[in-house]
């Protein structure tokens, strides 16, 4: 005659009243079929801390002719160790097998604990999602969530929904927003993991536009205009323009930082209008070797650091300029009434060179500006008036001697 299978689950009600949902414990137990002559089998996983106990206990009468699998879920408040017991007793009172042991349990550290005994085995999984530090998410980005089992999500505050069936009953899932759908016009997505209707903590991602790909991985670099000044530039060329309602967040990094996390320099934004003809030029960069990391994001997003989905350029170098230098020598007139000269010579900087004598000015297009006189090589400025005179030398970009 077949006997009934009796499964007993005991827990303290106060555990659920007082418990927190940050961490959960899902136990998957497999009971072996019974050996002939078995009277009872006891199989227990017990979580302990002071007087608070969580039991997953099975007292099984004969006859079990096939393997049995069972899941038990608990929140982990006040559990700091797990006790395992496997015991099988024959009809004559003889203990056929027995195994028990206790292990420390810290849900913030442990993700999986394994238990094995003569009548079955169990695996205890911690259910807890870790909030990523970089949580900007584009529809094309691939996301991996771990330490779950059953999964649910919600956009903004629209209500929780189960993830598609292919992601349920798995410790780790990998997907993109395209696998879920419904992300257009949404700003955030939230995820939870648990078992059936019981879930633990929530993590979230900010939804951003997918960044335009680079047409050329290496930006076009223009050297600085003046030595030791942030007057260089880098031009990025994209395959597509920005989507409406998006902006570019660009981060500048040293290509070879001396120590980890020291490469970041600064961030800037580029509007849809500034990314004209699928190009953008970042101006005001000093000489050096850099990388640019960028991503598209909503115009309402004020974040200044790019996430894991950022696109990275190849290293590029903005060249330094040789400093502008010059010398000037007064040449007195040979005879009374003759002209004297100031002989000047310039080097470095960017040609052509100009001199401004005695701060003279002229009017161009209705504006008064310094009167610049072009020269090259060595040049003699004629002087017809007695007294002191000043000469200022500038190059093509109005750079002066430092």
Q: What is the pLDDT of residues 87-97, one digit of tens each?
A: 888 878 788 88
- 261 pLDDT band (50/70/90 cuts)? low
**3-state secondary structure labels for all residues of 200-247:** EEEEEEEECCCCCCECCCCCEEECCCCCCCCCEEEEEEECCCCCCCEE
Determine the Cα–Cα distance for residues 327 and 379; give it in Å rounded to an integer.
Answer: 11
Lookup: tokens for 54: 């969580």
Q: What is the mean pLDDT of residues 108-129?
A: 93
CB 155 within 8 A of CB 188: yes
In a 13 Å sphere around the CA of 390, the CA atoms on its Cβ side amount to: 5
Report the percent of the chain where pLDDT is more than 90.
57
Lookup: tokens for 351: 């040609």
Q: Which of 36-50, 93-107, 110-124, 293-307 has the lowest mean pLDDT?
A: 36-50
Q: What is the mean pLDDT of residues 311-331?
A: 94
Task: Reply yes or no on whether the pLDDT at 62 is more than 80.
Answer: no
**3-state secondary structure labels for all residues of 178-207:** HHHCCCCCCCEEEEEEEECCEEEEEEEEEE
The pLDDT tens digits for 64-80 are: 556 788 899 999 988 89
Helix, strand, coil share of the chain (percent; to 5): 5, 50, 45
> What integer pLDDT is reported at residue 262 of this predicted model?
65
The pLDDT tens digits for 337-351 are: 778 999 999 999 999
Lookup: tokens for 263: 């490469």
Domain 13-126: state its class.
mainly beta
> What integer pLDDT is reported at residue 50 of this predicted model?
59
Domain 220-318: state its class.
mainly beta
CB 144 within 8 A of CB 191: no
DSSP category for residue 226: S
Determine the Cα–Cα distance for residues 182 and 159; give it in Å rounded to an integer.
Answer: 13
> What integer pLDDT is reported at residue 68 of this predicted model?
81
Quick one: CA dihedral 301, 307, 310, 312, positive or negative? positive
């Amino acid at each position: 005659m077949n006997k009934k299978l009796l499964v007993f689950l005991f827990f303290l009600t106060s555990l659920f009243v007082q418990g927190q949902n940050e961490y959960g414990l899902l136990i998957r137990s497999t009971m072996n079929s019974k050996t002939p002559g078995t009277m009872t089998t006891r199989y227990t996983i017990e979580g302990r801390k002071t007087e608070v106990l969580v039991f997953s206990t099975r007292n099984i009468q004969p006859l079990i002719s096939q393997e049995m699998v069972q899941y038990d879920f608990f929140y982990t408040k006040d559990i700091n160790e797990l006790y395992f017991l496997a015991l099988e007793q024959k009809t004559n009172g003889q203990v056929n097998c027995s195994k028990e042991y206790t292990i420390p349990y810290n849900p913030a550290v442990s993700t999986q604990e394994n238990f094995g005994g003569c009548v079955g085995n169990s695996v205890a999984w911690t259910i807890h999602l870790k909030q990523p530090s970089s949580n900007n998410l584009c529809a094309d980005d691939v996301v991996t969530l771990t330490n779950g089992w059953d999964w649910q999500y919600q956009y903004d505050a629209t209500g929780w929904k189960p993830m598609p069936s292919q992601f349920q009953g798995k410790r780790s899932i990998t997907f993109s927003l395209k696998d879920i759908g419904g992300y257009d016009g949404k700003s955030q997505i939230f995820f939870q993991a648990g078992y059936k209707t019981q879930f633990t903590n929530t993590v979230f991602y900010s939804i951003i536009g997918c960044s335009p790909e680079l047409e050329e991985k290496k930006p076009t670099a223009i050297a600085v205009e003046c030595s030791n000044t942030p007057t260089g530039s880098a031009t990025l060329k994209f395959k597509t323009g920005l989507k409406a309602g998006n902006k570019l967040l660009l981060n500048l990094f040293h290509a070879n930082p001396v120590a980890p996390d020291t490469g970041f320099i600064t961030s800037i934004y580029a509007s849809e209008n500034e990314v004209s003809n699928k190009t953008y030029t970042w101006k005001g960069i000093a000489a050096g070797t850099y990388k640019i990391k960028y991503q598209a994001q909503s115009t309402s997003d004020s974040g200044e650091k790019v996430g894991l989905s950022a696109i990275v350029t190849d290293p590029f170098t903005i060249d330094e300029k040789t400093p502008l230098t010059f010398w000037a020598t007064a040449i007195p007139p040979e005879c009374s009434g003759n002209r004297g000269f100031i002989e000047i010579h310039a080097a470095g900087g960017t040609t052509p060179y100009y001199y401004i004598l005695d701060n003279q000015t002229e009017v161009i297009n209705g504006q008064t500006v310094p009167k610049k006189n072009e020269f090259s090589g060595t040049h003699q400025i004629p002087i017809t008036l007695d007294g002191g005179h000043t000469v200022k030398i500038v190059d093509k970009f109005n750079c002066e001697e430092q």
